[in-house]
């Protein structure tokens, strides 16, 4: 069994085996189960906020930021269309990022998680 933690500096997965016992045997109120859809959402939210760069993934992160900025400036909730667009973009960027990590040999990368998030 292995544990992994998202690096906010690189968007890659870092070993976090020290958390396995805590997750399995701890009674920590901060530990809870989330769905694959929520996992993809949170990972891509963090990557989109923390990472900057060039290329198609970063252009999609910028698209999400632009939608969120517009919603914030207009002091409103996102429309159902905007929510669906953001969800779709995040699923897509998750797969793209994880595929790049897999190609680079990252043992924790798993683009198939997004397939179960649909």
Q: What is the pLDDT of residues 57-68, one digit of tens each?
A: 999 999 999 999
Whether the pTM exceeds 0.85: the reply is: yes
- The yes-or-no verdict on residue 96 having pLDDT over 80 is yes
- Compute the distance between CA of residue 112 and CA of residue 43 in angstroms, rounded to an integer: 14
pLDDT exceeds 90 at position 21: no
State the chain's mean pLDDT as an integer: 93
Any idea of the CA torsion for 58, 59, 62, 67, to the nearest 10 degrees?
-140
- Ordered by start, the domain boundaries in the chain are 33-117
pLDDT over 90 (residue 33): no
């Amino acid at each position: 069994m292995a544990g992994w933690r998202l690096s906010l500096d690189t968007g890659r997965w870092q070993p976090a085996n020290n958390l396995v016992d805590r997750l399995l045997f701890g009674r920590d109120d901060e530990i809870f189960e989330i769905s694959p859809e929520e996992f993809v959402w949170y990972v891509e939210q963090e990557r989109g906020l923390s990472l900057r760069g060039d290329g198609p993934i970063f252009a999609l992160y910028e698209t999400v930021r632009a939608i969120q900025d517009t919603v914030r400036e207009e002091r409103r909730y996102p429309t159902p269309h905007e929510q669906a667009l953001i969800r779709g973009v995040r699923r897509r960027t998750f797969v793209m990022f994880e595929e790049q990590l897999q190609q680079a040999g990252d043992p924790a990368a798993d683009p198939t998680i997004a397939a179960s998030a649909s």
